[in-house]
Amino acid sequence: MKAIVNGQLFTPRPITGEGVVLIEEGRIVAAGPANAVHVPSRSEVIDAGGRKVVPGLVDVHIHGLLGYSCMGAQLAEVAAVLPRFGVTAFCATTITAPIGHVQEALEEMADVIERQPQGARILGIHLEGPHLSPRRPGMAKADLQHPLTWDEFQQLQRAARGHICMITFAPEEDRAAELIPRLKELGVVPVIGHSDATFDQVTTWVKAGLAHATHTFNAMRGFHHREPGVLGAVLLYDEIMAQLIADGRHVHPGAMALLWKVKGPERTILISDAIPYAGMPPGKYEWEGYELILDGETCRLADGTLAGAITLLNQDLMTLIKLIGVSFTDALTAATCTPARSIGHGMWLGQLTPGFAADLAILEEDGRVWQTWVDGKIVHYAE
């Protein structure tokens, strides 16, 4: 038995007074106030020193960090270093590239997933591109985009050995929308993103089961009072859970506040959308054929287009709190149990609840990470 004591406990619901978490065989046994949780005499005791003890962060949209890319064999290194930022589980996200290269990368990613290296849990693969709208490609090359088809999805899923768990695509391209119910039947989350669809089109797809949107506001048809677009549908329909890059650069604080007011912590999913050079010094870098410029605040292409993010989820969590004034508890919900629930893992991840995986982070007041635990073991410790 292990016992984490003397912490400010968030499950993510805050626990009044000194909190205690008991862990055994990789699972949470108990979590609550010290006066209600008995610590067995032979327990290994870890003193949190008054720090915040929270569920491990779950990032469903991340491309890499610190020079390592999710797209290929370096996925193992991504898993190893992510706990430095409090992330205990993530979906390894791809980028638009020639389809043959994507297929080769998926094979390498599957190899890593099936041996689950030490570090953050790899929950599966998030396929983002090349099935995007050439009118809303973001940083991705428009000439590489093409409609998603069932045959190509099956080809890619075979390469990934069944590990694709979510796919961002533009349903309006050709007949791609017809795949929404078929993907859901397989347990793959269909995600609208990089889309130029109309409001009426999205309305139809919501009825077919669409319930997730990639980096809301970015690379999607915006709102107009005579054509509310993809954004209008994402805001209106409760069925849609909305990803948000809360780095303070991709989305204006006013727009973040609007999304939060409409969706709240139960339907807003904090994501990092971090590129493989997140956490690296300013300079010029290359990523899958794209020339990137990091200026210390953003990552851009030479023409100024934003090209992913350079902050990690623990930083975005604190930025959201600072910029729009939400509570720590609500922001934490959007970075833990909500993303876990959005991809079907809400019954065992994202909460400090008896029976759940013992995945947690111990944070300083400013969001820096002191310790990260995965499966009841310490995988990061800031000396």
Is residue 273 annotated as part of the catalytic site, yes or no?
yes
- Candidate list 59, 273, 316, 359, residue with the active-site label: 273
Determine if the peptide bond prior to 339 is cis (ω within 30°).
Answer: no
201 contact partners, CB below 8 Å, separation of at least 6? 171, 172, 177
Return phi, psi of residue 316, to 5°: -65, -35
Give which of 141, 223, 151 is closest to 182, Cα–Cα: 151
Side chain identity at residue 151, one-letter code: D
- Residue bearing tokens 């287009």: 305
Give which of 367, 357, 374, 361 is closest to 29, Cα–Cα: 357
| Beta bridge partners of residue 378, listed in sequence order | 373
Number of other CB atoms surrounding residue 28 within 10 Å: 23
CB 167 within 8 A of CB 177: no
CB 197 within 8 A of CB 190: no
d(CA 5, CA 124): 33
| Angle separating helix axes 229-236 and 199-208, nearest 10 degrees | 40
What residues are labeled active site?
273
